[in-house]
Amino acid sequence: MNEANYSLRIDMTKQRASSPFLFGHNLEHTRACVSGGLSAQLLRNRKFAGRPGARTGVSAEWFGIGARAFFCNDRDPYVSHFKPNGMWRRNETNAQTVQNPIEGQLAGIGQGGLFIRPDIGYKLAIVAKANRPVALTARLTNPSGDETYAQARFELSDGDWQRCEATLSVSKPGGETCLRLAFAERATVIFGAVSLLPEDSFHDMRRDVVDRLRELGVGLLRWPGGNFAGEYRWQDMFLPVDRRAPLQAFTEDETQPYTHGYDMHEIDTDDFVALCREIGAEPFITINLAWDAPEACAAWVEYCNGPADSEYGRLRARRGHEKPYNVRFWSLGNEMGYGHMEGPMQPDQYAVAAGAAARAMLEKDPALTLCSSGPYESDRAAAWIEGSARALLPLATHISFHTYNNFPQDFTAPETIRLAYERAVSVVKDNRAKLRALRAALPKDIHISYDEWNVWAAWFRKSSAVEGMFVASMLHMMLYAGDELNVPLLCFFQPVGEGAVDVFPDRAALSADGQAFALMKAHMDGRICAVEGLADYEAVASVKEGILSVSLINADYDAPARFTLNACGPVTAARCLEARDLLPDSHFEESELTVTEREGTACVSLPPRAIALLQFSLPAPRL
């Protein structure tokens, strides 16, 4: 194959600031992002949401103990919502009832498929009540239940709800582990909620997943959605986490199809802000415009940003957070005007609702940056620009823009693999064209928040290095077009479980998408330098803290590429990520690059389907 040659000149006299929020991500409680992803909670459906199994009475994900025991889950719930907001969902508030009609028979519930590490303790919490005194035994066992790894015994008195806690340590996990909760008395026990968490979790989040998010370099984190924003009840955080009712999806295909359509509400505002601070991200909150009144939206702002002597700031302070969080970015709903979201469907209707919320929120904090929602990536964009975007100025200075690019997924023949790859990298140009068309139609004083982007249906299948090349190409394009098209906010959808971070029972690892983000984060907070000789965004150069970072992309399917740059200082790092394997579950292969320096130039060759990062140490400025 003929080697492509690029002769580039980096002009460090021409620099511009770059928004750090181009390295944003979403954290949405959909699919398995929290349950089975970021959450450290081991138990599935731990609050017994939804209808039980047919003819069993046992809640989904659980099994019954006791051949002659009786089970149901539609009586006397423990979980609840903090206050009604008009939203109506089914079977969010249940408890698991177990009746044991035979004295001496073991009766109860259990759950298998748990991954237990032998090196740490696990905090077990059970909220239950009984109609007579009962000795409840909790055991971690092998799948058949005939070997016990750890156990605890709790005495339940008759009466109201009781919370029982113990720490269980396992020296021999023995593969798949089960939790069994059982009693032998002739009695009724109602389980309200059960929790099993490793002691080393961060705000009940998995440490390894948090570490991977930090490794990505997340400049902005959008939460709680996405579509899940339309389910979320932020004030439920004022209930203990075990008492917060599960949140059911409006359309299961869009949210939580892997958790039976329910989210267990494990993460609240305090946890989210703590996560942002832990990984160095700016928080970006989406309100529930369909169901929360303007007063409730304003209360959320006051909780986050109000002084400690305000009504909701006082509640924040009581929860141990005296200083305001100063959450700057807020979105006025998500994907409004689409059938999969509840709320106003027409731009004028949306403008009325969003305007009322915006005014109430800005009254609490005039410094907010507000983003309005709507179908700005569709053929209805013109109507929404006129009826909503313009109408909401100057309240909302940003509008939300989303793209999910589709391309063929056939890995059964060399020609179809090549087609998938070439389509994946070419759709970046499609996205740029859509942004340019939107920019041309918008008033100049409206910014674009490109707060969801990915390939289509990433949550339903394995990723590959094809998508890693797509991510790298998108970031390169946006580091240039973000300034040109006034797009200061860019959020990938979404890192956990369907993009950048793959989560397994025993570990969390960067996918090819994540490898691309981790390499490109060298540009975050840097000043972008002009590069002469570019054909199409194949190089980005930025300066930060005395280091010149140059990322290069060779997107050609089978031809290598040689890049010649003007030498800017000693080379301190030269790394290459090569997509040799494009099949499902493939990753980049990382290697060191050889940089040849001669006569004021630095030369490097990239294999096909590769991205690289070169870093040069710049001379200290003269005083």
Query: What is the reported pTM?
Result: 0.96
User: Which residues are CB-contacts of 167 (< 8 A; sequence separation ≥ 6)?
Assistant: 121, 122, 123, 124, 199
User: CA–CA separation, 73 vs 98, rounded Å?
Assistant: 9
User: Which residues are CB-contacts of 366 (< 8 A; sequence separation ≥ 6)?
Assistant: none
- In order along the chain (623 residues), what is the average pLDDT of each group of 10 residues? 88 93 92 86 96 94 97 93 88 96 97 92 97 97 93 95 96 82 98 97 97 97 94 96 93 68 93 98 97 97 98 97 98 94 95 98 98 94 96 98 92 96 95 96 96 91 94 97 95 92 94 98 96 94 96 97 92 96 97 90 96 93 62
DSSP 109-129: EEEEEE---TTSEEEEEEEEE
User: Which residues are CB-contacts of 519 (< 8 A; sequence separation ≥ 6)?
Assistant: 472, 551, 575, 577, 611, 613
Domains located in the chain, CATH noted: 4-15+528-617 (2.60.40.1180), 20-40+201-525 (3.20.20.80), 63-198 (2.60.120.260)
| Helices H / strands E in the chain, number of each | 9, 32
Residue 356, classified by CB atoms within 10 Å of its CB into exposed (0-12), middle (13-18) or buried (19+), is: middle
3-state secondary structure of 453: strand
H or E stretch at 382 = helix 381-384
Q: What is the pLDDT of residue 404?
A: 95
Calculate the alpha carbon distances from 295 to 287, 336, 359, 464 in Å: 12, 20, 10, 45
User: CA–CA separation, 237 vs 224, rounded Å?
Assistant: 13
Calculate the alpha carbon distances from 231 to 103, 237, 265, 371 in Å: 44, 14, 10, 19
Distance between alpha carbon 510 and the CA centroid of its chain, in Å? 14
Q: What is the pLDDT of residue 257?
A: 62
C-beta of residue 123 within 8 angstroms of C-beta of residue 196:
yes
End-to-end CA distance of the chain: 50
User: CA–CA separation, 482 vs 431, rounded Å?
Assistant: 12
User: CA–CA separation, 554 vs 392, rounded Å?
Assistant: 43
Question: What phi, psi does 492 have (nearest 5°)?
Answer: -70, 140
3-state secondary structure of 211: helix
H or E stretch at 364 = helix 347-364
Sign of the torsion angle spanned by Cα atoms 61, 66, 72, 78: negative
Q: What is the pLDDT of residue 559?
A: 96
User: CA–CA separation, 36 vs 206, rounded Å?
Assistant: 10
Calculate the alpha carbon distances from 336 to 333, 378, 393, 412 in Å: 7, 12, 17, 39
Each residue of 197-232: b (16+ CB within 10 Å) or e?
bbeebbbbbbebbbebbebbbbbbbbbbbbbbbbbb
For residue 450, what are its two tokens? 């490109």
Q: What is the pLDDT of residue 255?
A: 57
Cα dihedral value 88, 89, 95, 99, nearest 10? 100
C-beta of residue 354 within 8 angstroms of C-beta of residue 315:
no
